[in-house]
Structure 1
Amino acid sequence: MDRILRWLSVLTSFVVLLVVLMGALVTNTGSADGCGATWPLCYGEVIPTGAHKETMIEFSHRAVAGLAGILVVVQAVWACIKFPKRKEIKFMTISSVFFIVLQALMGAAAVIWSQSSIVLALHFGISLLSFASTLLLTILIFEELSFRKRMIPDISKGMTWNYILLSLYSYIVIYSGAFVRHTDSSLGCLDFPRCNGEWVPDLYSRAGIQYIHRTLAGLIVIWLLITIIIVLLRYKREGYVLNGTLIAFLCVVLQAISGVIVIYSRMELPFVLMHSLFVTCFFATLTFVVMIALRRKEKRY
C-alpha cells in the first residue's frame, strides 16, 4: 500500500502541474470563453458537442482540473490516515485541498461573472500555491516512506528568514507577471533589455507594466545570486538547501530566457508555456527550501 501511495502522490503532483499549464494554455489561446458563461457544464452540456478549438481546450482544462481535485482529496485523506501525528503533513493536506478548491471556485467565478485583470492574475497565483502544496505533501510522504532520515538543516535564523522573504517577494513578482498577461501587456516592450528603444518607458502604459515586471524579476536573480554565495560560503554541507537554491536559480534563469524569447517570437505558444512551466517549478522549489529551513527550530529546541 505504501508503494501505491507514493505513485498516487507523484501522479497527483503531475496532474496539478498539468492544470497550471493548461490554465496558461487557455489564457494564451483565448479559450477562456470556450464553454460560454456556464460552469461546470459547457454550453449547458456535460460533454460539449461543438468541435471548436477553444471549446475543446477549455473543456479539457476543466476535465483535468476535476481529476486533479479528486486526486488531491484522495491523497490528502490517505496521508492523514497514514501519518496522523505529522503536523507538517496535516498542514499540507489542508493547504492542498484548500487551494485546489479555491482555484476551482475562482475559475468558475471568472467564467460566470466577468472578472478584473487583478482577480484573473490572482487565479494563476492560487494555482501556483495549489501545485506547491501538493508537491510538498508528496515530498513529505516520500520522506516518511522512503528516506532514511528527516531533512533538518543547520542554518541560521537569518538565513531562514531570507528564504521566507524571498519566497514572498517572488510570489508578488509572479503575480505581476500574471497581471502583465491579463492586461495584454506581454508585448508592451518589443525588445530587451531596453523597452521599445527606451531604458525607462512611460510607466502608465502597457510598456510600463511590462517594464515594472522586468525590474522586479531582475531583483530576484540578484537576490538568489547573493543567497547562493552565502550558502556556498557557510552552508555548503547542507545539501538540500544548497541544491534547492541552485535549482531555483536555474529555473529563474530559464524563466528569464524564455521570457525574452516570448518577446522576440511575438508570443509563440510553446515559449509562453515554457515560461509558465519554469516559473511554476521555481516557486515550488523555493517553497520546498522554505519548508526545510523552517525545521531548524525543531532541531534546536
Structure 2
Amino acid sequence: MTSSSSLTNQREHLFRRLALLTVITIYLLILAGGIVRSTGSGMGCPDWPRCFGRWVPPTDVSQLPLNYQEIYGAKLKGEVEFNPVKTWIEYVNRLLGAFAGLLVFALLLVSIPYLKNDKRVFYWSLVSFVLIGLNGWLGSRVVATELAPYLVTLHMLLAILVVFALLYVMAISYTGRVNVEPVNRNKRVVNQILLWAMVFSVVQVLIGTQVRESIDEVIQRLGYSERYRWIDNLDFRFYIHRSFSLVILVFHLAVIYQLRKHTTTKGLLSQLITALMAMVVVEILTGIVLAYFAVPAAAQPIHLTLAIVILGLQFIALLVLNADQLLKNRAVQQPTYSKL
C-alpha cells in the first residue's frame, strides 16, 4: 500500500469516526432537550444566548440583581423565579447544542476532499451544517416566544432532519465497505413497508408533541402535586397516540416477516431490523410506564429519545436495503483525496 492510499484510508477513517460521534452527540442533545421539557426548564434561562445576562449562569439568587424579576420577567409577565437546577439544565442543553454545531462544522471541513469523487458527502455535510444552524436559531425563537408550542414542534422536526442528513452522510461513507445480505424477492415490498413505517413513526412523534403540550395545559390547571391525575385529564390526542403505537408495531412485524422470508443469510440488514424491533417494544413499554405510573419525569426524555432512535434505525435500514443505489453515483469505491 502506498503512502498516498494509506493517508486516504486514515482520512476516510477520521471522517467516519467523526460522523458517528456527531450523530451520537445529536442524540444526546435530543435527550437533553427531553430532560429540559420534562423538568419544565425551558425558561430556566429567560434570555438568549446569555443566561440571566451572564455567559456563566449564576448558582445562587444572590448573584442576580435585586430587581432581576423586573428585568427578565417583562416578557414572562413577571413570572420568572430563579431556580439554579432548572437554569443549569437549560444551560447545559445550550452548551451541548453549541458542541454539536462545532462537530457538524468540523465534519463539513473533513468532507471537502470528497468533492473530487463523491460530491454527495460534502453537500449533505453542508446541508447538516445549515440545518443545525437553523435549529440553533430556532431554539432562540423558542425562548423569545416563551415556548410557543408550534415552534417547539418545529424545533423537534428540524432535529430529526439533522439526524437524517448525518445518517445519510454516514451511509454513503460506509457504502461498499460493509457486507449486506441480498433480498432475493419482494425487495420493493420491503421498501414500501419500511417507508410507511417511517412515515407513521414521524406522525407518531408529532402526535406525541401534541400530547406533551396537552400535559403542559393540565399542569397549569392541576400543578405538579397532582401528577397522578394528569393522564385522566388528557384529551383525545393521548388515546390516538397510545393506539397508534400498535399500527407501528404491526408494520415492523411485517418488515421482519418479509426479510426472513426473502433472505437466505443473516447480515447487517437483519441485525438492524432486530434492533429496530427491540427499540419499538421498549418504546411501547416506556409509554405504558408514562400512562400507568403517573408520568414519571425520568421516563419522558427516554420515551422521546427512543422515538428518534427508531426513526434513525428505520432510515439506516432503508439505506442499507438500497445500498446498490448509493453506489451508483460514486466514481470509485475508494475516494481519492487531493493533497492538502
Q: TM-score range by the shorter chain?
A: 0.7 to 0.9
5 Å matches for 1:80-229?
Answer: 80-82=112-114, 84-141=116-173, 143=174, 148-149=177-178, 151=180, 153-154=182-183, 156-184=187-215, 206-229=234-257
Tell me, in whole angstroms, the C-alpha distance in 2 between the residues paired with 1:114 and 1:187: 18
Structure 1 stretch displaced more, 126-135 or 148-157: 148-157
Q: Which amino acid aligns with 2:98?
A: G
Report the Cα offset of residue 237 of structure 1. 3.1
What letter is aligned with 2:50? L
Q: Secondary structure at the match of 1:267?
A: coil
1:19 is matched with 29
Offset at residue 53 of structure 1 (A): 0.8
User: For residue 150 of structure 2, what is the amino acid of its counterpart?
Assistant: I
Residues 211 and 236 (structure 1 numbering): CA distance in 2 closer, same or farther, change over 3 Å? Answer: farther
In structure 2, the residue matched to 1:46 is 55
Higher relative contact order (CA 8 A, sep 6+): 2
What SS does the aligned partner of 2:278 have? helix
TM-score for the superposition, normalised by structure 2 = 0.74
Alpha-carbon distance in 2 for matches of 1:9, 1:282 = 19
Q: How far apart are the structure 1 equivalents of 2:130 and 2:214?
A: 27
Is 1:77 the counterpart of 2:87? The answer is no
Deviation, structure 1 residue 104: 1.3
- How far off is 1:221 after superposition? 0.3
Cα distance in 2 for partners of 1:91, 1:132 equals 14
Comparing 291-300 with 100-109, greater Cα deviation is found at 291-300
Flag the 1:179–1:122 CA change in 2: closer, same or farther, 3 A.
farther
Give the C-alpha shift of residue 222 in structure 1. Answer: 0.8
Distance 1:115 1:224, change over 3 A: same
Divergent runs of 4+, >4 A = 149-155, 185-191, 296-301
- Among candidates 303, 310, 320, match of residue 292 of structure 1: 320
Residue 84 and residue 111 in structure 1: after superposition, are their counterparts in 2 closer, same or farther (change >3 A)? Answer: farther
Cα deviation per residue 1:163-196 (whole Å; 9 max; x = unaligned)? Answer: 22221221111111122112217989979xxx85
CA–CA distance in structure 2, aligned partners of residues 110 and 43 of structure 1: 16
Larger radius of gyration: 2
Structure 2, gaps ≥5 residues long: 1-9, 61-83, 220-226, 330-340
User: After alignment, is 24-33 or 264-273 more displaced?
Assistant: 264-273
1:280 matches 2:312: no
Indicate the larger mover: 41-50 or 126-135.
126-135
Deviates more, 1:11-20 or 1:129-138: 129-138
Q: TM-score, normalised by structure 1?
A: 0.83
**Inter-partner Cα distance in structure 2 for 1:214 and 1:182:** 15
Identify the residue that residue 280 of structure 2 maps to in structure 1.
Answer: 252
- Whether the 8 Å CA contact 1:84–1:90 is kept in 2: the answer is no
